[in-house]
Amino acid sequence: MIDNKITIKGDLVADIQRGAIGHRATWTGLTYTKAREAGKAEEVEKFIREAISETGLVQGTEIKSNCQNPESVKCFAETFLTSNVAKTFELEFKTKTEDRVDIEFHHCPLLKAWQDLGFDDATCEKLCDMAMDGDRGIAKAMGFEFHLGDTIAKGCKTCQVSFFKAGK
């Protein structure tokens, strides 16, 4: 059972960002589920993944250009995961070094949008993995590795995400 609770409430910026992220997730979720209803789930999943991956590459290139030290995973994290993003996703840094960043997300606005649409847990988990292709693309653009551990969409307490230099 998915438990995607919100503890940071009434923060204007986080609420606005959650709304925008949820709107984006609604588009993706409805595109996928409509394709699935039409018997084209695999074909459309491929397109969605390609588009999200490319979005991640674009975003990662922008983040890299804004990093004072693009070789530093810590600098990347501070550029990408601002205090507003931290509040929006209720994220917590477990590790933040020059070589590695391990993060736990306690809330996901994308998942909330899919839950609000009434999608079952398996659909939410599939959409979550597709959405993570953006983070995979960001890591690739930065020249870092990416690891996705537990996810809220799989019924875990948090999403565990790591960005790191190869071998670290």
Q: What's the confidence (pLDDT) of residue 30?
A: 98
Query: Is residue 167 pLDDT above 90, yes or no?
Result: no
Residues 141/60, Cβ–Cβ less than 8 Å:
yes
Which DSSP helix (H) or strand (E) runs through 87? helix 83-89
Question: Could you give the dihedral angle defined by the CA atoms of residues 86, 127, 157 and 119, in that order, rounded to the nearest 10 degrees?
Answer: 120
Domain boundaries, the chain: 12-164
28: nearest Cα among 156, 148, 114, 108:
114
Summarised one tens digit per residue, pLDDT across range 9-50 is 999 999 999 999 999 999 999 999 999 999 999 999 999 999
Indicate the CATH number for domain 12-164: 3.30.1380
